[in-house]
Amino acid sequence: MLWRLKPWVLVAVLMVVPTTGGDVERLENSRQVARILSARILATLLLRLILSLALASLFFDILGYRWINRLFALACYAILLMPGFLQVAYHYFFSSQVQRSVIYGDQPRNRLDLFLPTNSDGQKPVVVFVTGGAWIIGYKAWGSLLGRQLAERNIIVACIDYRNFPQGTISDMVNDVSNGISFVYNNIDDYGGDPKRIYLMGQSAGAHISSCVLLEQAIKESTGESTSWSVSQLKAYFGLSGGYNLFNLVDHFHSRGLYRSIFLSIMEGKESFKQFSPEVRVKDPRIRDAISLLPPIILFHGTSDQSIPSDASKAFVDALQGVGAKAELILYKGKTHTDLFLQDPLRGGKDDLFDHIVSVIHAEDKEALANDAMAPPRKRLVPEILLRIASHISPF
């Protein structure tokens, strides 16, 4: 019966539900972290929250009650996961292994964060990560947890920020991300990265944007156009919980509150759907030469994802395989849109998605694979009861 209660009741229940000794200790650790967070961190986080709320209120008259409901659910969701968020924020702001807001271009929000391993011996593989956020609230810091955990496995992570709507539309986002990848290719050796071992990854809207970048870059290369980075140099592409066909997504998003009029504005009208639908575009026989340049593509998706159904990844993999591209789909039964990216990493311990990504990156490095096998379990950042309630009330 607990899981049928309203979100605000569930939050209140937390005040009286007993926890295990381990959970109490973790909560106390989180309180200690919260107490030592500086005014700068709190001010920054508060500013980010205020800006997000302001953006939500900007669309209030258009989006109406449904989005107010979702906004409230989002606030409860964030509060429940706050013990983990505070620890990740502390690492993000204070760790010497994080270089924040490295400038990669001359447009607004052309910044990226670098998460560097503590071991500086030899060149490291690199993951260029593009965060999600419904094309509206994406932010580079959303990749902090992934960056921290991959850096612990001796992998450099570059989290790219990009213009969101209404500051930019989809073509601006694609251009920003492409410029960010170019910066990484041409400068990552200065940070200890190996430009010959770069992997591209996107999550949710970030998976859509990065897949558009991937295909657009392959087309440019296949036609002999001058480029500042080469898609054929990418070792692999990872797409997490993404959507790759705008024609199939517009009605689904409309039913979930991202209304058609706004979605069309983000995507520059329905006439641009084909250009920004990789699943559709790869079937065009005129770009067959570009398909041969694509790196191995691995898509991950939870079967219980309501934000972007897993059929979106299945259809894209089918389309890629149909034109001869190397593509693979890995489904996670019962996982939601946020389970794979947030709840599971915050839970600690074994994480099948994380382990799979690391195994692909380290596939040609026997020493790294041996170190991975001996790596200690990742620590839990949020008590299990909070994770379960958060999963239940998640607006995603």
Taking the C-alpha atoms of residue 300 and residue 313, their distance in angstroms, rounded to an integer, is 8
Structure tokens at 2: 């607990």
Asked if 353 and 254 count as a contact pair (C-beta separation under 8 A), the reply is no
Locate tokens 């600690």: which residue?
348
Asked if 290 and 215 count as a contact pair (C-beta separation under 8 A), the reply is yes
Told to judge if 226 belongs to the known catalytic residues of this protein, a careful annotator would answer no
Helix axes 205-222, 170-187, angle to 10 degrees: 70
Taking the C-alpha atoms of residue 71 and residue 84, their distance in angstroms, rounded to an integer, is 20
Annotated active-site residue in 161, 172, 305, 344: 305
| C-beta atoms surrounding 47 within 10 Å | 10
Residues 6+ apart with CB under 8 A from 52: 137
For the residues of 177-203, what is the DSSP string, one character each?
HHHHHHHHHHHGGGGTEEEEEEEEEEE
Locate tokens 């702001």: which residue?
93
233: DSSP letter: G
354: DSSP letter: H
Q: Which of 323, 241, 225 is nearest to 282 (CA)?
A: 323
Asked if 193 and 126 count as a contact pair (C-beta separation under 8 A), the reply is yes
Quick check: helix, strand or coil at residue 64? coil
Annotated active-site residue in 204, 307, 391, 394: 204
Told to judge if 204 belongs to the known catalytic residues of this protein, a careful annotator would answer yes
Annotated active-site residue in 337, 339, 362, 391: 337
- One-letter amino acid identity for 215? L
Handedness of CA 79, 10, 348, 311 (dihedral sign): negative
Structure tokens at 104: 């990669």
Asked if 159 and 183 count as a contact pair (C-beta separation under 8 A), the reply is no
Which phi and psi angles does 275 have, rounded to 5°? -60, -35
Q: Where are the beta strands (DSSP E) in 277-326?
A: 297-302
Q: What is the largest CA-CA distance in the chain?
A: 65
**What are the residue numbers of the active site?**
204, 305, 337
